[in-house]
Structure 1
Amino acid sequence: MVLASAPVMAQLSPDEGGAENAARAPDTLATVLSLGAGLLAVIAIIYGCAWLIRRMSGMTGMNNNAIRVVSVMAIGARERIALVEVGGQQILLGITPSAIRTLQVFEEPVVDAGNPPDSDFARRLQSMIGKSWTAPKRKD
């Protein structure tokens, strides 16, 4: 009986309680503005937290000069080997997407981290920078 009478009760005329329902109807513009303001507040909080984290990362007291990457070489698409200097020792690491493994620990440095190895390409490029970029004229 109760379920059968529910559609009849929902179609009340304005003089039977419909005016109360119209007064309680949400204002669409106010709802949209309220939701928009809430969304902007959440976005502002996210950006504020990101800014705060970036500012605080320098204040952690960590010494970034203690560990230095001397050289990195790609072995495969996602595999690399890296030579890292820590406390006067150089460590050769194998790096994959799922793990980092120590391959060799060198007691004495094998590569001077302050002076990168001088390659033939670097020397040629340096000599070309000092020269004119124009092609030499032909004498025919």
Structure 2
Amino acid sequence: MMLQTAFGLALVIGILFLAAYLLRRLNGGRGFGSNGPLRVVGGLMIGTRERIVLVEIEDTWIVVGVVPGQIRTLHTLPKGELQAPGEREKPFSQWLKQIAERKNEGR
């Protein structure tokens, strides 16, 4: 009796893992609802729980700061093309510092 219960439990867990694997393969590794107008272009980890994300919505890019319990818009700009890392005019850190200084001047 105990062996049948253990075998049944292992079978159910195996089916769950197989279903998750198949869903991931069929969906291309993306989450549900990824076919909508919202697309994550890229992101940068700032700390262990903080990150900056570039989100595309139609013809607009939004730079978003994400921390536990809060999401804040940092900057909005028209959609553009991403440059290869060697072709950048300024490093991202300088660009972010410049945006932050501009925002502080407006206060």
**TM-score, normalized by length of structure 1?**
0.45
Greater relative contact order, per chain length (Cα 8 Å cut-off, separation 6+): 2
Paired with 1:118 and 1:35, the residues of 2 have a C-alpha distance of 59
Higher strand residue share: 2
Match of 2:81 in 1: 112
How far 1:65 sits from its partner (Å)? 7.5
Counterpart residue identity of residue 76, structure 1:
G
Superposition pairs for residues 1-140 of structure 1, below 5 Å?
34-56=1-23, 58=26, 62-64=33-35, 66-106=37-77, 108-109=78-79, 111-113=80-82, 116-119=83-86
Pick the structure with greater CA Rg: 1
Percent pairwise identity: 25
Deviation string for 1:72-95 (max 9, x for gaps)? 222223211111112121111111
Paired with 2:56 and 2:47, the residues of 1 have a C-alpha distance of 23
Counterpart residue identity of residue 91, structure 1:
I
Deviation string for 1:100-131 (max 9, x for gaps)? 2222332x12x414xx33416xxxxxxxxxxx
Counterpart residue identity of residue 43, structure 1:
A
Q: How many residues align?
A: 83
Moved over 6 A (4+): none
Which ranges in structure 1 are unaligned for 5 or more consecutive residues? 1-33, 121-140
**TM-score, normalized by length of structure 2?**
0.56
Paired with 1:50 and 1:89, the residues of 2 have a C-alpha distance of 38
Deviates more, 1:71-80 or 1:84-93: 71-80
Counterpart residue identity of residue 119, structure 1:
G
Paired with 1:47 and 1:37, the residues of 2 have a C-alpha distance of 15
Paired with 2:54 and 2:36, the residues of 1 have a C-alpha distance of 15
Which ranges in structure 2 are unaligned for 5 or more consecutive residues? 88-107
Change in 2 beyond 3 A, CA 1:88/1:97: same
